[in-house]
Structure 1
Amino acid sequence: MNKHEAGGNWKQFKGKVKEQWGKLTDDDLTVVEGKRDQLVGKIQERYGYEKDRAEKELSDWESGHDHRW
């Protein structure tokens, strides 16, 4: 997968991320731009979760969705 494919996949995937974590803003997702570790950080920030909880929630959610970081 090249950089352009990853970017296109992220744009499609953004809507699904926002459905799950509605407190994330478009600006948050623009900053994240497909970077998993930054997404974990934004989930922590917006929801007040510990890193382990945000990581687990994202991992659990990923298992039901087809997205490659």
Structure 2
Amino acid sequence: MDDYEHLDPDGADFAPVDRTAERLTLEEAHDLLRLLLVIAQEGEGSLSREAGRLAKEIAARIPSEN
């Protein structure tokens, strides 16, 4: 079961989004993914688990480098 099914977008307190902000380039997304993987592998505790979770989410959304 996906945790996202239980989110109430109207009740969530999200940070405001700047609609003029640039999106990550594919190269930047791969750099971020590599950084998160290092933190996930070398870190400890909740930070490591969160980095691993975010790495999986990003990896599922961007094309591979090859």
Short-chain TM bin: 0.3 to 0.5
> Which structure's CA Rg is the greater one?
2
TM-score with structure 2 length normalisation? 0.34
TM-score with structure 1 length normalisation? 0.33
Larger relative CO (CA 8 A, sep 6+): 1 or 2? 1
Larger helix percent: 1
